[in-house]
Structure formats: structure tokens, C-alpha cells
Structure 1
């Protein structure tokens, strides 16, 4: 964090900590595990070989066992909270090429979303947590049993790179005071393959988007994005808004709605081969908590999500402000953030005041579905 960088135009400048621009390998990734799980509802209707093959694709981690009882209590009001992460693991040639950097076996999470599914499962709120948020990370134990010390004034996404899924969940629960009922994760290659299996996703851009880092060059207008283009879109930060991670989050949130719409319109039940290919890709792409670590569990879980339409999805970003000491970092606006977490804990709509007057990245409305 001590290296030099140029402040992002349009954001508060000033002297203080600076750093060099991020490499391609540190770009974020839209997490589509929620949608992938919805596809598994259809794929899980098979039997015999197909069932066991899909079941064998799913990777899971036992979050409950690692974290133990020192967690927020589960709220019994019919709602669910899911932490959804995107990982850019460098392990393997495909992810190395997509994520950039060396094949060092490391993994980072550059996208994090808390999805709150309201009682009745007819609507949901998605709260994006900026990866550049400075936080106090709690001490935690990873799934291999290794203990990690607490740390102050560190980036949010250091939780995952330090201790994996378990530390990421513990950090989010520490920040929000809310129990995460489930955990879902997807990687670069899984995301790209999923979009390709869907036959692309249609989006409309209201402005030209060109970002050499994410290899995206789109003119204003309607586009049917391939998997590679979609990955470029959700990794883009320098081509829109103020060039920050907050702008990228705005693109990711718009793309989620377009993707959900595409899944609902693709007509899977009339095409058994496409249905199976999508289910195969989806189950290979996701890592889940142990409670969701089977096709049967994913079927049950996703059945409760498939009735939520894009119109009933509220997208917000955790309230933050730019760090006056470093414009490449953001700081939580605690009072406003607490309004969000309190509302979700009580299964209520987030008040408008919680998201007004916060840093936005200035990219809202650049992409529509």
C-alpha cells in the first residue's frame, strides 16, 4: 500500500497513502452463483448418472464447523441472507489467463454481495460491499484449521485472501451483525462459461465503454455479450464513471438484472441438452457452504429464488465515503450502513435515507437490461 499511484479523477485528492494501479489479476468478477443455483433447479430433475455427475461437480466448505457458536443468532422470520463472492483464483491455466498474474495457486475475492431474500421469497435486496473498503478484520480460523490474527485498517477483500471462505463470512458477520445463512462462490472461468451456455446476455449501454485493462470496447447501444465480453464488462472500472471500484459495482448490479432476465427467457424446459449443459456448468462453477453441497440441497434452495423477478430486486451499495488520506480507498459510513443492516435483520425495506449522500462511482445508468 506504500507504492505510488495517480489519484482517480473526480474524487477527493490530497496527499497521503498512495499505491500503484492494480494489475489485471486484481480485477473484480460479478458473482452469478445465485442465478447458477436457479439453473440447478432444472438440472437436478434428472436421475441416475446425470444426478450423480452433477452432485460430484459441487465443491463445498463447512463454514458452520469452522466458525462454531460465536456468530450472530439466526433470525427465524422466514428470510434468508446469503454471502455471494466472486473469486479470481490463479490456480489452473484457464483462471490464470482470465485473472492475470502467475499461476501461484492464490485466490482473491474482488466482488462481494449480501443477498437478503425476504419472507415469502418474492423479492430480494442485494447489498454490494466494495472490495476497497477499509475495515477492522476479526481474528479467524480457515477451513484448514490455521488461525489468522485480527488486523486493523485493511481492505475488505483481504479477509478472503487471508483465510478463505470462513474468514470472509466471519468478517461480513462482524461488520453487519447479521448471520449469513448460506455461502456461494464462483470463479472467472465458471462465469464466462455460464454466460456462453446461456447463449449470451443482452444489455444496453448508454455511453461508450472502453477499458484496455478489461479488454472491453463497446459503443453506446444494445449488445448481446459473449462470456468474454460479459466478464470484461463486470471487471471494468477505468472505462466508466470516476474509474473506481464503486463504478464497477454499478455495472455489476445492472448486469445481474439482465442475467436474471435472460435465464427466465431462455426456455430451458424445451431443450434438454441445453438444460443439462447449463446445469453441468453451474455446478462446476460454484463453491457452497456444506448445507448446500448437494444437488438436492441446491434444488431446494434455488426453488425459493426462482420466483424473484428483476423488478423485485433492489440493488444498493454499502454506504461509504472516499478516504481523505487515499482516494483509492473508501470508508464505511457507519450510521447509514447500520440502517441497512438493521432493516435486513428485521426483514424490512431499506430506508431511502440510508443510501442518499454516499459515494457512488458515477456510473449508474451506463448499462441497462
Structure 2
């Protein structure tokens, strides 16, 4: 299969968290009213989910939750917006209508640039069949920019404030379109936000000084800065993004007709001080929709240990179930229901120009629909606490590498043959003494400091082998798990591969990147000493800390905290 036409209609032709948000009355599942902080269960939707598109849910705030927050800092993994995007992608293109209605739906879709950063990550090299993977970043915004968003998000004093990217989820569709992997990133992950330029007014947001919360990237010019931030962190080329806010999510959940969820005991997510989502369900499996679906996706009080990890698990279960429901639910064949869904979905989306029409979304839906639930794997970026925030771990880099190399997270990839290997450039390498290569030290890890002098040592090895233009760049200290060779353009691929071969660095460690200006060898943490490189055994298993959940798991059932049960 060639690259999807979602790249364009004619491709085949040619620092700190937001301030506390006030509590706002919200409806409970049992019809009574309670209050929620804006970042509480019914206060701020957002979350993480994964199944073929993203999710949303919120984090709890308020005096009653302060002690719990100190014990286990919040990790907003908001999933509700995942629902909106899934519906948009899977269904929006099937609503039959005339040309004018088609144009009306196109006009509903908001479009902004894909990447607002300065550096770009080159697309992956096609495999032997000419296929490349597709990476879509799904963003859930907490914008309170209209009355409907304000009502759903609460916190009146934050109306019109700078939006936060409270859901960030990468959807990876494999090159052969056989499997899908989803990686969600906690909203409070500490990252370095790159320099971004606002496309509307040309305002330049300088790169962050040190690390700041990833959800603040959206306020640096729009979703294109969130894309740039992800690419800087992961090295993964992102083809598209889709962003959705609070509005339209509940009505789209209604249009699906209900999604089955399971709890192992009666649950009421409400504590003595009124904090919680208000979710009230009896033990067993029940179809939920509308406000009740919103409550499920935001529930923290009542699931397992009350942490955002438990909330993320509930969101993943919901999304798995929703994907199965969409594939099986015949009621969605109703033209009226499809039109309603198309209206809600297109009105809720902001996309890059590559997805800015119903046709492009429909083409994408056809790509995604071909993946069976059992080949969908949803994960959360492995992380650890840094005070009240989190940061990626070594396992996170392992997860990112698997995505970069298009290795299925479910471990079911067929064994590769020589014919499956990526195509290598026909451009020959220059003579050894004419190849300019810069060597950098990337031996620093989270547990070990920099191994001094490694760039100089390895540059010396290259000079001894005849690479007279090899030089050490000691001005930049990096952190790389593995030794890698990078090159900026196709005309230097041959040179990069020649350098790698001379040091017995495997082909898989050679990649194209616009983050370098010439052939660059980064000595990784796997080569902290010695003069002979020995590539570590390749581990292509998804880290356990990624909490992988298979899309076909129909037996998943949320464990209810005994403090939130009822009889």
C-alpha cells in the first residue's frame, strides 16, 4: 500500500500548572447536583485514551483533594476528546449529502498549520514496498472560549484564558496498516518547549528556559507548537494533528448510542466534601453515554487507588469498548444519525491542512478502520515523579524507539526478511578522507553522569581509520541510550552509513534528521568506555511500565475503591 491520501487530496496525483479553578455546579448521574473544580472530575475534561484516536478526562482539585494530590501528584490523562476524534475519523465521511452540505461540513472544520517550530524531523524511509507509517497527534484543549465550553469546563474566572493541551496522544498507524499503537503523555510532563511562531500574528515564543509542563505548549502559538514539542522530545515525525475542545463531545457520545463499561462493585464517585465526578453505577456491565460517559472518563475518586493512573486505565477500557461498538453498531447506518454525528464531529475539530476536508478525514478513516481491535495497543508514556510533575524515563525512550522503527507494540510483528528492510539511498559515500563527521558525547543518563572524553576518543578512532575530517564537538552534551549516526539530507545518507559501518554500528541506528546540519555521530550510553563498539542486544518488547492494553480485551473491569461503594 502506498502512503495515504490524507497527506493531501491529490497525493496520488502528484512551568507551573494553571491557577486553581473555582468550583462549579455540575449534574450528577443520579440527577442531584454537586460541585466540581475546573480541574476536577466534571470541571475539566481531558485524559488519555487510545484505540485509534485520543481521549480526555480531568484531574481533581479543591480543598478536599489537596492531601491526596500531595500524596500522589495529578497526572491528567484526559480521554473524552478521544471519543470525539474517533467518531469524527471513523464516521464523518459517511454522511451522504449534496455538494452544498459537503462544503458546509468542510467549513465546520477549523484549520491551522501543522508545525510551528524551527526544526523538523524527516519522515521515515519507506520500506521495500514503498510504505511508510502514519503518525497523528491528538490534542485535547481545555479552552473555555465559549458558553458551552465554559459550562462543561467550569471555573468562570478562567473564561478566555490561554488554553492548555491537557490531552496529548500519538496515534501510530503501521506502514503496512496492520496494527495501531497509541502513546499518551501526561499533561504535567516536564519537557523543553522549542521556539514557536504564532501563525496568526507572527508573535515569536522563545524556547522555554529549562523544562516546563508540556500542556503549556498549546499557548505558544497553537497546536503546531505542541507538535513541535513532541517531535523534539521523541524524534518521531508527525504527519498530522487533530485537536478538539469540550464542546460537542457529550452530544457525539449520545450519537453512538452507548458504550459498555464494567465495574466490579457499586460505585458513586463523590466524597463527603462533594468532590468527584458524580458517576453512579451498579456492579456489572452497563452502556453509558452523554453526561454519564463524561463522568466515567473523568472519574478519579472511586477507581482503584484514586490516582490518575487508575483514571487512565478506565479511559483506555472505555475507548477499547467504543471502537468495538463503532465497528459493530448497526444503528449508525441511520442517515439522520450520521448527519448529526457529522455536524458534531466536524464542528469540534481543529486540524492541519492535510486533514482539512471531509474527504481527507474519510480517507484516514478507511486507513484506521482496517486495523482489527486485537492489533490496537494503547499505552501511557513511562514516567516518574519530579516533585508534583513527571518526566520521561528510560523506558519512555524505548517506547519512542519502537514507534520510530515501526515495531508493533503488541509484539505480533511478522519476522522481517531482507526484503522488508528499509530502502537504502543509491547515493554512494564520498571517499573516507572527504567525509565530514561531527562526534558528540551522549553518554549521560538519568543515573550516570557524562563519561568524559568520549567524543574526542571516538573522533580519534575515525581519524585513525582514515576519516581525516572527523572532529569532536564537546560543546554539546546529550543523552542517548544508544549510539546513533544522523544525517540531514538524502545526499549524505551514504556518508552516514559508511561511518556507521566503519565502527560496526548497526544500520538501524542510522537515521535522517533535520536536527543536525551534517553527518553527526552521537556516542550513546551503550558505549561509555573502550574503543570497540558492541551493539547491545535489541529489545523490541513494549516496556511493562507503558501499561499496554489490547483493544480486543472485553473482560476488563474497573476495580472500585471500597470507600466509594454503596449498597
TM-score interval, smaller chain: 0.7 to 0.9
SS in structure 1 opposite 2:368?
coil
* Per-residue CA distance 1:141-197 (angstroms, 9 max, x = gap): 233222112222321211123432011111111111011101011222222111011
* Per-residue CA distance 1:179-234 (angstroms, 9 max, x = gap): 11010112222221110111222211234351433232233321211211111221
CA contact (8 A) 1:268 1:275 kept: no
User: In the alignment, which of 313, 317, 321 is matched to residue 384 of structure 2?
Assistant: 321
CA distance in 2, matches of 1:174, 1:260: 31
- In the alignment, which residue of structure 1 is the partner of 2:462? none
CA contact (8 A) 1:322 1:359 kept: no
CA distance in 1, matches of 2:542, 2:257: 38
User: In the alignment, which of 30, 55, 59 is matched to residue 106 of structure 2?
Assistant: 55
Task: State the shift of 1:278 in Å.
Answer: 1.3
1:286 matched to 2:349? The reply is yes
Q: TM-score, normalised by structure 1?
A: 0.85
- In the alignment, which residue of structure 1 is the partner of 2:391? 331
CA contact (8 A) 1:202 1:225 kept: yes
1:28 matched to 2:78? The reply is yes
User: In the alignment, which of 118, 124, 128 is matched to residue 184 of structure 2?
Assistant: 128
* Per-residue CA distance 1:241-294 (angstroms, 9 max, x = gap): 333333322222211111111211222564111121111211111111111011
* Per-residue CA distance 1:105-137 (angstroms, 9 max, x = gap): 232221111010012323201111011212222
CA distance in 2, matches of 1:131, 1:159: 10
Task: State the shift of 1:314 in Å.
Answer: 0.3
CA contact (8 A) 1:27 1:235 kept: no
CA contact (8 A) 2:138 2:171 kept: yes
User: In the alignment, which of 136, 139, 148 is matched to residue 205 of structure 2?
Assistant: 148
CA contact (8 A) 2:379 2:547 kept: no
Task: Tell me whether 267-276 or 250-259 shows the greater mean CA deviation.
Answer: 267-276
Q: TM-score, normalised by structure 2?
A: 0.57
SS in structure 1 opposite 2:136?
strand
Task: State the shift of 1:76 in Å.
Answer: 4.0
SS in structure 2 opposite 1:305?
helix
- In the alignment, which residue of structure 2 is the partner of 1:303? 366
User: In the alignment, which of 136, 155, 173 is matched to residue 82 of structure 1?
Assistant: 136
- In the alignment, which residue of structure 1 is the partner of 2:237? 179
SS in structure 1 opposite 2:211?
strand
1:255 matched to 2:314? The reply is no
CA contact (8 A) 1:131 1:245 kept: no
Q: Which has the higher contact order (CA 8 A, sep 6+)?
A: 1
1:120–1:268 distance in 2 versus 1, CA, 3 Å:
farther
CA distance in 1, matches of 2:396, 2:184: 12
- In the alignment, which residue of structure 1 is the partner of 2:159? 104
SS in structure 2 opposite 1:253?
helix
Q: Structure 2, unaligned stretches of length 5 or more?
A: 1-15, 21-62, 127-131, 410-538, 549-554, 560-567
- In the alignment, which residue of structure 2 is the partner of 1:189? 247
Would you say how many aligned residue pairs link Structure 1 and Structure 2?
Answer: 347
SS in structure 1 opposite 2:232?
helix
1:358–1:274 distance in 2 versus 1, CA, 3 Å:
closer
1:230 matched to 2:230? The reply is no
Bigger proportion of residues as helix: 1
- In the alignment, which residue of structure 2 is the partner of 1:15? none
